[in-house]
Chain A
Amino acid sequence: DIQMTQSPSSLSASVGDRVTITCRASQSITRYLNWYQFKSGKAPKLLIYAASNLQGGVPSRFSGSGSGTDFTLTISSLQPEDFATYYCQQSYSIRPLTFGGGTRVEIK
């Protein structure tokens, strides 16, 4: 299985801050990397697919970059609705699809 490692596991930030979350794969996954936002009681939301493509309807303050084994999700100016847990997920190998351990973004 391809292991996905996210860092940090949690962070505290203020509204307006720039936030960066990293994800590392245990082997090259080229650009088969997706980012999701999870909030309790809500449907998880796809933010970024194929490393850097913004899903329709997602605010442009979200961006993704990287290839190979190292990837980054950036929120350029944190908004109140962005406090959530973020997960990366590789789709290079579908047997099985695997997720990172998550990054919880909390209010400072």
Chain B
Amino acid sequence: QITLKESGPTLVRPTQTLTLTCTFSGFSLTTSGVGVGWIRQSPGKAPQWLTLIYWDDDKLYNPSLRSRLTITKDTSKNQVVLTMTNMDPVDTATYYCARLTTMVNVLDYWGQGTLVTVSS
């Protein structure tokens, strides 16, 4: 059974750095063709893809947010970590992590998401 779960702060102050952890089970991020990505959804808006990390440590970032994002993995802990710098109230959203399979680049399993509010 494949599961993913996001964890991290629910409230972040403007200009601070957000760090979220995705802890997963049921698959390995050392398996060829597997990746883990982050997607966010602001209230009332469509989901926005943020970043991906692959089994071979290749990384992709949404160009619109590239300067603020970093993604890393710890395969021994089955975790992927997202950091986003210089948080702003417009970054208030539910942040999801999801597994990606490269065969058709589909996000086939998702976590429940974690709501992050940016406010002073």
Name A residues whose Cβ lies closer than 8 Å to a Cβ of B: 32, 34, 36, 38, 41-46, 49-50, 55, 87, 89, 91, 94-102
Contact = CB atoms under 8 A, between A and B. Distances in A.
B108 A43 contact: no
Interface residues of B, number: 24
A49 B104 contact: yes
Interface of B, secondary structure class, is strand
B47 interface: yes
Contacts of B4: 43
A98 B49 contact: yes
B48 interface: yes
A95 B66 CA distance: 11
B60 interface: yes
A49 B109 CA distance: 12
A100 B105 contact: no
Contacts of A49: 104, 106, 108
A87 B49 contact: no
B106 A46 contact: yes
Interface centre among A41, A50, A89 (most CB of B within 10 A): A89
B52 A43 contact: no
